[in-house]
Amino acid sequence: MNLRQRGIGLIELLVALAIGSVLIVGAVYVYSQSRSSYRVSDATSRLQEDARYALSIIEPDVQLAGYYGFSNSPDDFKYITGGSTAGVVPASRMQAASAALAGLASGFQDCGNNFAVNLVATVEGSNDTYALGCGAQAGGAEANTDTLTIRRASRVAQAAATANRLQLLVSRLSPTNQYMLSDGSLPASPALAADTVQVRDLVVRSYYISADSEGPARAGLPALRVKTLLDDGFDDEQVMPGVEDLQVQFGIDTGDYDNDGVIDPGLDADSNGIPDAPRGIATRYVDPDALPVGFQVVSVRIWLMMRSAQFEAGFVDGRTYDYAGKSVTPNDGNRRMLVSRTIQLRNARQL
C-alpha cells in the first residue's frame, strides 16, 4: 500500500499567518488601550489624592478660624507690653486702618500694617489678586487667583510666655478681658492656671497660588503655598504642587431665612440692616473683597483647580469649568480636576 505524506500547504500557511496576525494586532491593541486607560486612571487618581491632601491642610484652619482659647470674640482682646494692663490697645485699634501697633517687631508687620494682629478679621481674603504686603515666592503669585487668611489661637497651651512671639493670654473666668502680647511679659493677674488661664500662640496663615513649584523642572507648574506666622515674622512654604487656582467665597448670615430678600421680621430692632442675633446660617455667599461690614461669616466655600504636572500626548482639555463666577476653557494637554468644599466655621463670631 502506498502511503502519501502531506505537509502544510501554502494556502493553509497564509491563512494561519493571517489569523495569527489578527490575534497579535488585537492583543497589541488591547494592551495599548489598557496602558492608556491605566495612565488616565493613574493621572486622575493622583489629582484626586493631591486635592484631598490640599483640602485636608486648609479645612482644619478654616474650621478653627476665630478660635481664641476660651473666647470666640476677638473684640475682647487688648494688646499689652511689659506686663502692664494700664495702657492697653483694644482690638478695634489693631486693624489695618489703624496706626501701626507700637513696639511690635518689624517681622510681624512684613505682610502689612497690623496684618498679624488684626484679630477682628478671623477670615479674610482677596479676590483674583495677591494683596498681601509680603512678596509671593516661587515665581510670584499666579494671576487671577484668590488668597485666604485665617487667624486663631493654637490648639495647645504653652507652658510660659515667650519673647518675640505673638501670644494670647486667655482666661476662662474672665472671657471679656483677654490679652495679646509679644514680649513674653505676662501681667501679675490673672496668674496662669492649667484649666482656667492659659497662654496660646497666635496662628496666622495665608494661602495663595504661586506661578511655579519648587524643585527641578517645575517652572510653570503652579502650586498652593502658605505664609505662616513664626517667632520672627512669616515663613513661606509649599503645600502642594499642581494647584492651578484657589477661589474663595464667604458665607454670611444676612438674617434672611425665608429667602425673600430682606431681614426676617423681629431680627433687626435697630434697623441697621444687620441681624441682631444671627443664627449662624449662610444665606448668601460673597467674594472676599465684597464682604459687607458687620456681617457674620459662618462658612467658607473653597474651589481648587488641580492640574497634572505634564502634558499628555493626544489629549486636549477642552472642557469649560464654571466656578466662583469664573468660566475657564484651558484648551491644552494637561488633565485637570476641579474640587470644591464648603467649610463651616465652628467659632463664628456672634455680633
Q: Model confidence at 9, in pLDDT bands (50, 70, 90)? A: confident
pLDDT at 6 over 70: no
Q: Is 127 exposed, middle or buried (0-12, 13-18, 19+ CB in 10 A)?
A: buried
pLDDT at 330 over 80: yes
Task: Give the pLDDT confidence score for residue 135 in this predicted structure.
Answer: 92
* R_g of the chain computed on alpha carbons: 29
Task: Give the pLDDT confidence score for residue 248 in this predicted structure.
Answer: 97
Round to whole Å and give the CA distance between 98 and 312. Answer: 51
pLDDT at 281 over 90: no
Q: Model confidence at 125, in pLDDT bands (50, 70, 90)? A: very high
How high is the mean pLDDT of the chain?
88
Degrees, nearest 5: CA angle 18-20-24: 115
**Cell representation of residue 322:** 464654571
**Cell representation of residue 315:** 489629549
Let me know: does 148 contact 123? Beta carbons within 8 Å. yes
Cα-Cα end-to-end distance for the chain: 114
* Nearest by Cα to 297 from 177, 60, 116, 125: 125
Q: Model confidence at 40, in pLDDT bands (50, 70, 90)? A: low
pLDDT at 33 over 70: no
Classified as helix, coil or strand, 102 is coil
pLDDT at 143 over 70: yes
Q: Is 45 exposed, middle or buried (0-12, 13-18, 19+ CB in 10 A)?
A: exposed
Q: In sequence order, which residues have a C-beta less than 8 Å from that of residue 82 and are 6 or more positions away?
A: 183, 185
Task: Give the pLDDT confidence score for residue 118 in this predicted structure.
Answer: 94
Task: Give the pLDDT confidence score for residue 230 in this predicted structure.
Answer: 92
Amino acid letter at 198? Q
Task: Give the pLDDT confidence score for residue 307 in this predicted structure.
Answer: 93
pLDDT at 351 over 50: no
Task: Give the pLDDT confidence score for residue 349 in this predicted structure.
Answer: 54
Mean pLDDT to the nearest integer, 40-46: 78
The tens digit of pLDDT for each residue in 61-74 reads 999 999 998 888 88
More confident residue, 20 or 53: 53
The tens digit of pLDDT for each residue in 289-306 reads 988 887 889 999 999 999
Amino acid letter at 92? S
Peptide bond into 190 cis (omega under 30): yes
Let me know: does 69 contact 168? Beta carbons within 8 Å. yes
User: How crowded is the C-beta side of 88, counted as CA atoms within 13 Å?
Assistant: 18
pLDDT at 257 over 70: yes
Task: Give the pLDDT confidence score for residue 338 in this predicted structure.
Answer: 95
Q: Model confidence at 206, in pLDDT bands (50, 70, 90)? A: very high
Domain ranges of the chain: 42-344
Instruction: Map grid coordinates 502689612 to a residue.
Output: 112
* Nearest by Cα to 131 from 118, 114, 112: 112
* Nearest by Cα to 39 from 242, 330, 314: 314
Mean pLDDT to the nearest integer, 172-181: 86
* 7-11, 55-59, 176-180, 339-343: segment of lowest average pLDDT: 7-11
Let me know: does 96 contact 126? Beta carbons within 8 Å. no
Q: Model confidence at 342, in pLDDT bands (50, 70, 90)? A: very high
The tens digit of pLDDT for each residue in 207-229 reads 999 999 997 767 889 999 999 99
Let me know: does 121 contact 151? Beta carbons within 8 Å. yes
Instruction: Map grid coordinates 518689624 to a residue.
Output: 106
The tens digit of pLDDT for each residue in 146-170 reads 999 999 999 999 999 999 999 999 9
Round to whole Å and give the CA distance between 116 and 168. Answer: 13
Round to whole Å and give the CA distance between 227 and 122. Answer: 16
Neighbours of 18 (CB within 10 A): 10
Mean pLDDT to the nearest integer, 316-324: 92
Mean pLDDT to the nearest integer, 236-245: 95
**Which secondary-structure segment (H or E) carries 53?**
helix 10-64
Task: Give the pLDDT confidence score for residue 217 in this predicted structure.
Answer: 63
Degrees, nearest 5: CA angle 321-322-324: 125
Round to whole Å and give the CA distance between 188 and 209. Answer: 44
Amino acid letter at 344? Q
